[in-house]
Amino acid sequence: MQRVCVSIGSTSLDDTLAAVDRAAPLADVVEIRLDHLSVPVVSPFMTAVQRPLLFTNRPEWEGGGYCGPEEERIAPLCEALCQGASYVDLELLAPLESRQVLLREVEKSAQGRLILSWHQFQGTPSFQELVGRMALMQDAGADIGKIVTTAHGPADVRSVLRLLEEAARLNFPLIAFCMGRAGVISRVASVELGGYMTYCAAHETEITAPGQLSVTTLRRIESLMGGEQP
Mean pLDDT value across residues 210-221: 90
Mean pLDDT value across residues 105-129: 95
- pLDDT tens-place string over residues 9-20: 899 999 999 999
Task: Between 24 and 100, name the one with better pLDDT.
Answer: 100
β-pairing verdict for 53-56 and 144-150:
unpaired
Burial of 67 (0-12, 13-18, 19+ CB in 10 A): exposed
User: Would you say residue 222 has pLDDT above 50?
Assistant: yes
Percent of the chain residues past pLDDT 90, beyond the cut? 84
Domains parsed from the chain with CATH numbers: 4-224 (3.20.20.70)
Residue whose C-alpha is closest to residue 37's, from 58, 53, 62: 58
58 three-class SS: coil
- pLDDT tens-place string over residues 160-179: 999 999 999 999 999 999 99
Task: Answer whether 0.85 is exceeded by the pTM.
Answer: yes
- Active centre residues (catalytic): 119, 146
Say which DSSP state 182 is in: G
Mean pLDDT value across residues 63-91: 96
